[in-house]
C-alpha cells in the first residue's frame, strides 16, 4: 500500500469515527440530561404545568396518532401500489401519478401541517383533534407506503404469477394469494419507515392535533390529543427552567425508545417472515 492509499484510508476512517462520535454525543447528552426524570410517576402520571407530573397522555397520544395514521395510510397506500404495479396501463397518466407520488414525498412536513390545519381542522371542521392529526400524518407517510409497496410488489418473480394464472386463478386471486404474500416483507419495511417518520413528527401534529401539554386522554377522535414530540417542543420553547429542560430530555428518551422498539419489532417480524418464506417451517 503506498502512501496515498494510506492517507485516503486514514481519512475515511477518521470520517467514520467522527460520525459515530457525533451520534454518541447526541444520544449521550440526551440520556445524561434526561435519565434523572424517568420514573414510574413520569410514565404513568399526567403533566401539571411545565415542571410537574408525567407524560402518560403524551405517550398514549403518540401511539394513538401513529395508529390512526397507519389505519389511513396503509390500506390506501397498499391499494394504490397494487393498482400502479399490476393494473395501471403503461402510459403518460401513470407516469404522472408516479411523479406526483414522488413530489408528495418531498413536501416539507410544515407544509403538510399547514394544509392539515386549513383543510382538515377548519374547512372539514374536524377541529384540532386526533382525527386531524392522524389524517395529516397519514398524508405525510402515504407516498412512502405507496412507493415501498409498489417496489415490493414489482419484485415478486414473474414465475409465481405465471404458475398461479396457469392453474386458472384470476388476476385478483393471483395478487391476493401469491403476490401480496411474497411482497409482505417489503411492504412491512415501508410501513416501518412510515412509523419512524410519523412518531417523531412535530410540525404536522403541532398544527393539527393539540398543544402537547394536554393532561387528559382524548375521549373521542374529535378531541385534541397530546404527543411526545409536541410536548418536547413546548417545554423547549416555553419552559425556560432547568426542570423543564430535564423533562424535555426525559420525553426525548421515551421518544427514541419507542422508535427503537417499533423499528426492531418490525425488523424482527420481517426477518422471521423472510426466513419462513425461504425454507424452514412455514
Partner 1 sequence: MSKIEMKGLSVYYGNGTVHALKDVNMKIEANKITALIGPSGCGKTTFLRALNRMNELIRVRTEGEVLIDGIDIYSKKVDVIQLRKKVGMVFQQPNPFPMSIYDNVAYGPRIHGVRNRELDGIVEESLKKAALWDEVKDRLEENAFGFSGGQQQRLCIARALAVNPEIILFDEPCSSLDPISTARIEELLSKLKREYTIVIVTHNMQQAARISDFTAFFLMGELIECGKTPQIFERPRDKRTEDYITGRFG
Q: What residues make contact with partner 1 under the rule CB under 8 A?
A: 157, 159-160, 162-170, 173, 177-178, 181-182, 276-282
CB of 91 to partner 1, least distance (A): 14
Bridge partners of 53?
47
CB of 169 to partner 1, least distance (A): 5
For partner 1, which is the closer residue by CB, 30 or 169? 169
CB of 185 to partner 1, least distance (A): 11
Neighbours of 26 (CB within 10 A): 11
- Written as nine digits, the cell of 142 is 402515504
Name all contacts of 86-94 with Cβ < 8 Å and 24+ positions apart: 86/153, 86/171, 86/175, 86/179
For partner 1, which is the closer residue by CB, 4 or 158? 158
CB of 239 to partner 1, least distance (A): 53
- Give phi and psi for 264, each to the nearest 5: -65, -40
CB of 174 to partner 1, least distance (A): 9
CB of 177 to partner 1, least distance (A): 7
For partner 1, which is the closer residue by CB, 22 or 277? 277
3-state SS, 32-67, equals HHHHHHCCHHHHHCCEECCCEECCHHHHHHHHHHHH
- Closest C-alpha to 40, from 258, 252, 263, 250: 250
For partner 1, which is the closer residue by CB, 100 or 172? 172
Q: Which residues make Cβ contacts (< 8 Å) with residue 52, sequence separation at least 6? A: none
Distance in angstroms (rounded) separating the CA atoms of residues 212 and 251 = 12
For partner 1, which is the closer residue by CB, 44 or 163? 163
For partner 1, which is the closer residue by CB, 101 or 178? 178
- Measured at the CA of 266, the angle between CA 263 and CA 270, to 5 degrees, comes to 135
Distance in angstroms (rounded) separating the CA atoms of residues 88 and 146 = 14
For partner 1, which is the closer residue by CB, 105 or 165? 165
Q: Locate cell 414522488: which residue?
A: 102
CB of 160 to partner 1, least distance (A): 6
Amino acid at each position: 500500500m503506498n502512501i496515498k492509499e494510506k492517507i485516503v484510508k486514514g481519512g475515511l476512517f477518521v470520517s467514520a469515527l467522527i460520525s459515530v462520535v457525533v451520534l454518541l454525543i447526541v444520544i449521550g447528552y440526551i440520556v445524561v440530561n434526561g435519565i434523572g426524570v424517568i420514573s414510574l410517576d413520569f410514565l404513568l402520571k399526567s403533566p401539571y404545568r411545565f415542571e410537574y407530573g408525567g407524560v402518560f397522555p403524551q405517550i398514549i397520544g403518540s401511539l394513538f396518532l401513529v395508529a390512526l395514521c397507519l389505519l389511513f395510510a396503509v390500506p390506501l397506500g397498499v391499494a394504490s401500489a397494487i393498482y400502479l404495479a399490476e393494473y395501471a396501463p403503461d402510459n403518460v397518466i401513470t407516469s404522472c401519478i408516479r411523479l406526483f407520488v414522488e413530489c408528495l414525498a418531498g413536501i416539507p412536513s410544515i407544509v403538510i401541517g399547514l394544509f392539515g390545519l386549513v383543510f382538515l381542522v377548519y374547512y372539514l371542521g374536524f377541529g384540532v383533534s386526533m382525527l386531524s392529526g392522524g389524517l395529516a400524518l397519514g398524508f405525510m407517510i402515504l407516498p412512502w407506503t405507496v412507493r415501498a409497496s409498489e417496489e415490493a410488489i414489482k419484485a415478486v418473480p414473474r414465475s409465481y404469477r405465471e404458475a398461479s394464472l396457469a392453474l386458472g386463478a384470476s388476476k385478483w386471486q393471483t395478487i391476493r394469494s401469491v403476490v401480496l404474500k411474497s411482497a409482505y416483507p417489503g411492504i412491512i419495511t415501508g410501513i416501518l419507515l412510515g412509523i419512524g417518520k410519523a412518531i417523531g413528527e412535530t410540525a404536522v401534529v403541532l398544527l393539527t392535533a393539540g398543544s402537547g401539554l394536554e393532561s387528559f386522554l382524548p375521549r373521542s377522535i374529535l378531541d385534541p390529543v397530546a404527543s411526545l414530540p409536541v410536548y418536547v417542543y413546548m417545554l423547549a420553547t416555553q419552559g425556560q427552567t432547568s426542570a423543564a429542560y430535564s423533562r424535555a430530555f426525559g420525553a426525548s428518551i421515551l421518544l427514541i425508545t419507542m422508535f427503537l422498539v417499533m423499528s426492531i419489532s418490525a425488523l424482527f417480524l420481517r426477518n422471521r417472515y423472510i426466513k419462513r418464506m425461504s425454507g424452514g417451517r412455514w
